[in-house]
Amino acid sequence: MSGARATARANIALAKYWGKSDEALNLPAVPSVSITLDGLVTETEVAFEEGLDADRVSLDGELAGAKESARVVKVLDQLRQRADTGLRARVTSHNRFPTAAGLASSASGFAALVAAAAGALNLTLTFQEMSALARAASASAARSIFGGYVELAAGALGDAQLGAVQFADPDHWDLRVIVVTTAAGRKTVGSRAAMNRSRDNAVFYRAWVDESVELANRVRRAILERDFDALTMASEQSFLAMHATAMTSVPPLLYWNPVSVRVLHRVWELRERGVPVFSTMDAGPHVKAVCPSHVAARIAEELSRVEGVLATRICPPGRGVEVTKVRST
């Protein structure tokens, strides 16, 4: 047996990825910029074993369904090809996310899977190579390979090597992301199906793609210059444009619930009162509020009192993926 264990963290995009330019290679149509978050962690162990007739995938203690398994097997196949082996693997993955957060875990999940499987096969891959492999599985996962502040460019057709890059480490800026949970359970339409629908028929999709480069540039520049006001404007525009695009899809995609809207308004009220904070949202009803660390506790307290909010959790910027070998037997 040869095995390895990897830890990867979720990330939150401030310039959003929404739409693909190449579905077969899973290339994003737009650039995205994110912060890797501490506290939302996936731990994955991969062991390649003689005598297994198929890959065995367990997620949070349960055997993975056919669809989830197929995505995992696809990643393993690519790594097996590189290592020139036919050995099947046992994959055990746990999300150390707060219960009922209902947050997407595919980013940290696929980042951890790639790193653990590469480690188990003794492949010495660069972070760039791991990021490209993770991107092929789930584009947001490309960003979770790296810690701190990360960019994933838009992919040109056929660009199989596209991976993310870190442009500032976790210590660059003492921001906090407050994850505000506004509902229990899983989202109804997953981001993959939803962004494909937007690309196929959303009235605003073309405008979204056209604006995305400038938005991502503004977000990256604001982070590099630690300009919180500029980051506020660019990030809120990015998430609102993404959601406006989703809303104009047919059938429409409206991820917000009444609690999400109340939280967005409370964030704007706080800002009116001079508190530095802005919101972002993904393909679900939860709101993430971003602020400098010194005001995080106070803002989390305020947001936890918004009617219907189930939980708040403060996350600092986190490190990239980490791998350890598991002893061979």
Least Å from the CB of residue 15 to ligand DP6: 8
Cis peptide before 251 (omega within 30 of 0): yes
Query: Least Å distance between CB 300 and ligand DP6?
Result: 22
- Report d(CA 146, CA 68) in Å as an integer: 24
Residue window 229-268: x/- pattern of binding to ligand DP6, with contact defined by CB under 6 A: ----------------------------------------
Kindly tell me which of 283 and 291 has the beta carbon lying closer to ligand DP6. 283
Q: Which is nearer to ligand DP6, 2 or 182 (CB)?
A: 182
Name which of 116 and 139 has its Cβ closer to ligand DP6.
139
Question: Which DSSP string do the residues of 100-152 spell out, in sequence order?
Answer: T-----HHHHHHHHHHHHHHHTT----HHHHHHHHHHH-HHHHHHTS-SEEEE
Q: What is the three-class DSSP state of 40?
A: strand
Among 26, 95, 198, 238, binds ligand DP6 (CB under 6 A): 26
- Using CB under 6 A as the binding rule, the residues of this chain from 2 to 21 that contact ligand DP6 are 13, 16-18
Q: Which of 152, 157, 158 shows the shortest CA–CA distance to 140?
A: 152
Contact 235, 280 (CB under 8 A): yes
In angstroms, the first-to-last Cα distance of the chain is 6
Out of 166, 191, 279, 280, the only residue in the binding site for ligand DP6 (CB under 6 A) is 191
By CB under 6 A, residue 32 contacts ligand DP6: yes
Q: How far is the CB of 28 from ligand DP6 (least distance, A)?
A: 7
317 class by beta-carbon count within 10 Å (0-12 exposed, 13-18 middle, 19+ buried): buried
DSSP count for the chain of H helices, then E strands: 9, 14
- Residue closer to ligand DP6, measured from CB, 88 or 286: 286
**Which run of H or E residues covers position 78?**
helix 66-83
Q: Which is nearer to ligand DP6, 13 or 120 (CB)?
A: 13
CB of 192 to ligand DP6, least distance (A): 3
- Footprint (CB under 6 A) of ligand DP6, residues 64-123: 104, 106
Of 45, 151, 236, 282, which one interacts with ligand DP6 (CB under 6 A)?
282
For residue 185, give the DSSP letter: S
Q: Based on CB atoms, which residue is closest to ligand DP6, 104 or 145? A: 104
CB of 260 to ligand DP6, least distance (A): 14
- For the segment 127-166, give every residue that binds ligand DP6 (CB under 6 A): 138-140
Size, binding site for ligand DP6 by CB under 6 A: 15
Q: Smallest gap, in angstroms, from Cβ of residue 282 to ligand DP6?
A: 4
CA angle 239, 297, 36 (to 5 degrees): 45
What's the sign of the alpha-carbon dihedral 249, 252, 257, 258? Answer: positive
Q: Which residues contact ligand DP6 by CB under 6 A?
A: 13, 16-18, 26, 32, 104, 106, 138-140, 191-192, 282-283
